[in-house]
Structure 1
């Protein structure tokens, strides 16, 4: 019989019981549910609402239930509807009236909100740790290939030469922003709704700040209606997951391209590749493709909760039962993707010669040739046109700018002199990009210091929270 059955004369049907149950999903939060119940029981005892003996029995009973769940000895019954009722029902069966006093001064509404916030905080910390690990791998690879050059692209066309380290650190900065978003989601979840009861608070003299402190929250919610109906913190988590997944998808796309025969920039480890059932020569970047593909799943989880929340009146509505599955799925999916991508990047082999060969194609020196003329007084737009003519000449001859003679250059502009040859050297072109945030070796070295400082700061944040 359900714990709320006193008001009813008939039981729900087998179908509606199954349809309305959240236990298959929220049983994942049993640790948080038990922690919240233990803190609530201690507070009730401290406030003189229940006896210390009852509180002790409750705590010991909850500890036994947690051990049984972790050892696979606890039987979950779909008729219990959710994790809260499942645990409370077993507790009452085990210890009697003391267990029946546990629910004093609270509702499943504030209970589930508390469980979900605790779960969201934990997931944020796990994701931030995986985020930092991937950033470490990216910076290690960047440092190991500090002198490797490759073509930079716009529109997937050769644009200007850049250092591989510069390219990899671009993803490190994306992930640093993702860490900030996860921090914001953590902070959003870090207030305790326990004690808000169903929607209006309670007549019992609860010490809400005591339970919040025991559960590791930084404070308590300030409006009981908002407390039981707010899921903004989950939207923040899902948004952070979605943006991070999108960034991983971009990196995965480059891994797929770079590992292809057409590029040949990298070779993936066998551990992060698969073969073909029919073509024995194949080595497929399946795991990069999966990381790319799972982005749609995570973004879908965000959209699903946004749509669920869009028309809910205050306060709690059963629709909110749909909040957890997507959040659990998105967080677990993203964590797996972060771990997978870290392993993939860490074990890939970089092929510097293939990158350098491609950097020599596509007239990557063109912008610097135009700058050469502009520095000698020719308006940049006119310089751009002159170099465009030179590129067209190269296309007609099937050669590169470096293959043109001084006479060819001077035929387009008398401002060209013998030193134009230096402007065609790709290493010199890269070295000249000394502006802050540029691709010159010195600028990348300075950038690396900032990346490391940010990593250290983020690791300190995690260490303070035991992650």
Structure 2
């Protein structure tokens, strides 16, 4: 069933017809389309365009379509309709007859599509946020399980200072919490009801937009009909938020790939998230993490595609916008899958405590603490920094760690150094001395975990 055609004298070219049809993609909006159709039928009845009996017929017909799809999703496969809107209207016409032809009074696929995508995206955002929260719960549990494990902190992928493994993990908790909050913002700007905007100029019938807003569960009405049918900012925000979330997931994946390598050995990945080699029997490959890292690029591409799609469009609606649904759906599916896999990794990863302890006892991770110690003795930091550099050079030449250097040799560099230097250089002190808010001291990490628990509990 075509929703247009009166002014045409020739049939559509078959190749172009296939090219033009989008039902294979936008059929995912069918429940949103049915929901919007039912709400719009109600407002047409209130406007006197549909009788109560006609509204009842349409409502039953739409309910029948919904039940059929729920019972047999395969029913949608192979349908030849132009799009999801045409499909619903055609099936409704088959069920209730010509009364179905009244449903599109004052209604255009332009505002209908805007409604469907907004309804879909609101639900998608909630789904993503639930998964982010679940991942953060797993990260928090991993932090609590390994609260006292000390690992090397890195800058430039070179050992820098010792940190608690739990403190390191909480950095990712913060990243994902920001992602969660960004999706909150996206939800607010998606939560505008566009019906009544028509093709672009607004409906010519007395459509009660406020009643539609309430019935469909939107916070606000769109304020301009031209903007309502051409706006895709909310999709850009969602895909952008997804891309940034995948930046964070990719960084986590990269860290875990490196830390679980034989060369590092800090982490051990579970068999449940690794694969083997078809040739090399000994291999245990971090494919789960590599796929997360790889799929991040896929969503970055979607973001660029969507921005490019929009950048040259004249007002208002253009068929180019048909391409936004594939971007939306694949971004959503990819993001949710990556979050789910990352959660499984977080739940099943083990820390090699012995290796971690050995790692932090090498390579002068306590050098900064020696400089801080000298500052505490009255030496200006820049002089302390230079002096410690010379001490490190001496220790490297003699292949001994800082905390094994005899006191006499320490004092040959500076008389400010006393036997209390060994306490200052201990791993425990290196951790506990970083006691500022947000630091890696155990007490601060415990505070951060408690605060994170409260933040996760919001909305539960």
TM-score, normalization: structure 2?
0.98
SS at structure 1 position matched to 2:6:
helix
1:182 aligns with 2:175: no
Q: Cα 1:75–1:366, aligned 2, differ >3 Å: closer, same or farther?
A: closer
Partner of 2:221: 220
CA contact (8 A) 1:149 1:356 kept: yes
CA offsets 1:225-280 (integer angstroms, 9 cap, x no match): 00000000001101110010000000011111111111111211111110110111
Cα pair 1:65 1:74 within 8 Å, conserved:
no
In structure 2, stretches of 5+ residues that fail to align are none
2:60 counterpart residue number: 60
2:47 match: 47
**Alpha carbons 1:77, 1:86 under 8 Å: kept:** no
Give the deviation of 1:456 after TM superposition. 1.5
Number of equivalent positions = 459
After superposition, the Cα gap between the structure-2 partners of 1:75 and 1:241, relative to the gap in structure 1 and judged at 3 Å, is: closer
Give per-residue Cα distances to partners, 1:309-331, cap 9 Å, x unaligned: 11111110111111111111111
Tell me the secondary structure at the aligned position of residue 152 of structure 1: strand
- Deviation of 1:204 after TM superposition, in Å, equals 0.6
Q: How far 1:78 sits from its partner (Å)? A: 5.6
Instruction: Deviation per CA, 1:72-126: give whole Å up to 9, x if none.
Output: 3635566421100111011112211111111112100000000000011011000
1:156 aligned onto 2:157: yes
- Measure the CA separation in 1 of the matches of 2:138 and 2:287: 20
Residue 27 of structure 2 contacts residue 76 of structure 2 at CA under 8 Å; is this kept in 1?
no
In the alignment, the residues of structure 1 paired with residue 76 and residue 115 of structure 2 have an alpha-carbon distance, to the nearest angstrom, of 24
Supply the distance in 2 between the matched residues of 1:419 and 1:162 (Cα, whole angstroms): 22
The one-character-per-residue Cα deviations of 1:13-63 (angstroms, maximum 9, x if unpaired) are: 111011111111111110101000011011111222211111111111111
Partner of 1:436: 437
SS state of the match for residue 86, structure 1?
Answer: helix
Contact 1:142 1:168 in 2 (8 A): yes
Contact 1:433 1:440 in 2 (8 A): yes
TM-score (structure 1 length as normaliser): 0.96
* Residue in structure 2 matched with residue 268 of structure 1 by the alignment: 269
The match for 1:318 is 319
1:366-385 to structure 2, matched below 5 A, reads 366-385=367-386
Tell me if 1:30 matches 2:30.
yes
Residue in 1 that maps onto 2:111? 110
Q: How does 1:316-465 map to 2 (within 5 A)?
A: 316-457=317-458, 460=459
> Which secondary structure state, in structure 2, belongs to the residue aligned with residue 202 of structure 1?
coil
Instruction: Return the alpha-carbon distance in structure 2 between the equivalents of residues 48 and 455 of structure 1.
Output: 49
CA distance in 1: counterparts of 2:243 and 2:76, whole angstroms: 35
Give ranges in structure 1 of 5+ residues lacking alignment.
Answer: none
SS in 2 for 1:96: helix
Identify if the C-alpha distance between structure 1 residues 75 and 265 changes in structure 2 by more than 3 Å, giving closer, same or farther. Answer: closer
Distance 1:250 1:83 in 2: 38
Contact 1:18 1:78 survives alignment (8 Å): no
Query: Cα distance, 1:376 vs. partner?
Result: 1.2
The structural deviation recorded for 1:70 is: 2.4
Partner of 1:17: 17
Q: Distance in 2 between matches of 1:362 and 1:6?
A: 80
Q: Distance in 2 between matches of 1:442 and 1:244?
A: 29
1:339-392: CA deviation from partner (whole Å, max 9, x where unpaired): 111011101112111111101111011001011111111111110010000111
Root-mean-square deviation (Å): 1.2
